[in-house]
Amino acid sequence: MEAHREKKNTCGTICLKYLLFLFNICFWLAGGAVLAVGLWTLVDKSDYISLLNSSFYSASASILIVAGVIVTLTGIIGCCATLNEKRSLLIVYLVLLLCVFLLEITAGVLAYVYQQQCFPFCYQLDDELRQNLKLNMQQKYLQPGQESITLSVDKLQQEFKCCGSHNFSDWRDSEWIQREKTQQLVPDSCCKTPSTLCGRRDHPSNIYREEGGCIEKLEDYIRSQLYILGGVGVGIAFLQLVGMMFTCCLCQNLKEDLY
């Protein structure tokens, strides 16, 4: 019995335990970071989801949140398995690491593929997003019951320093201007220095008149989020390879300790 205990506490096994425990702490912290990024993306930028009429943006943030939760739970299981030296629990942990590894690699590759617009449907989706944004801005801005859209449009134009979906002239055909016969040419949120009725002048010194409008700024932002999604997914996936290697070695050592 004493000999078995001494064998079980060999230098190799102890080193592997500490290395795997250290890996799990880093893995757990990474999961928390991924979760925080996903929540920040979904909460802070959720206003734009209603403008795009697309679930892809919210799905990207949701993937980050789900991945963060899974990674955090997997890290906790790994810590328990390592401390208790339970080979069966280590095998469960190894399987979870492998599953999360495959999911994150898949998510990272899909995010990169979507960002690069490698397939024809990506162009169709871009056109659909552009059209949805234009229709929402023209037909729903300052309309009864569309207060959330109005706030989202104002926030979008001020945050990204843009005016209109493609350019400032999009506002000429908006329901708001056509129905109310207002003297304003653009919303006040298009102004470089917003103030009441400042949208009556559409001179370049007064409003944002860059070509491409808000849609290009929003597309650039979404691409940056996809870079984050892909980078985080692939980065943590390769970190997991190290964890799987340590887990396999520790499982093998514990197996040998049984004999």
Quick check: is 137 in a domain?
yes
The last residue of a domain, from among 180, 196, 212? 212
Residue 20 resides in a domain? yes
In a domain, 176, yes or no: yes
If asked whether residues 199 and 179 sit together in one domain, one would say: yes
Query: Does 132 share its domain with 106?
Result: no
- Tell me the backbone φ, ψ of residue 182, rounded to 5 degrees: -75, 155
Same domain for 137 and 97: no
**What is the per-residue pLDDT across 171-193, written as a single tens digit (0 to 9) for each?**
988 999 888 777 899 999 999 99
Beta-bridged to residue 191, according to DSSP, are: 207
Q: Which two tokens stand for residue 156?
A: 């979008």
Spatial separation of the C-alpha atoms in residues 226 and 94, rounded to whole Å? 28
* 96 and 149 part of one domain: no
Inside any domain, residue 158: yes
Q: Is residue 223 part of a domain?
A: no
Same domain for 132 and 166? Answer: yes
Same domain, 106 and 136: no
Residue 257 lies in a domain: no
Domain that holds residue 131: 121-212
Q: Which residues of the chain have pLDDT under 50?
A: 1-8, 118-122, 124, 258-259
In a domain, 1, yes or no: no
Domain count, the chain: 2
| pTM given for the model | 0.68
CB-based contact 180:195 (threshold 8 Å): no
Q: What is the pLDDT of residue 107?
A: 66
Q: Please give the pLDDT value at position 8.
A: 47
> Are 129 and 178 within one domain?
yes
Q: Kindly state whether residues 112 and 16 are assigned to the same domain.
A: yes
Q: Are residues 65 and 132 in the same domain?
A: no
Q: Do 56 and 78 belong together in one domain?
A: yes
Do 103 and 164 share a structural domain? no
Residues 244, 247, 251: CA angle, nearest 5 degrees: 140
- Tens of pLDDT, residue by residue over 190-226, are 999 999 999 999 899 999 988 778 888 887 877 777 7
Model pLDDT, residue 70: 79
What tokens appear for 116 in the block? 């690069």
Whether 199 is in a domain gets the answer: yes
Question: Residue 57: what pLDDT?
Answer: 61
Selection from 249, 232, 259, 184 nearest residue 27 by Cα: 232
For 27, the token pair is 């893995």
pLDDT confidence of residue 241: 76
Tell whether 134 and 163 lie within a shared domain.
yes
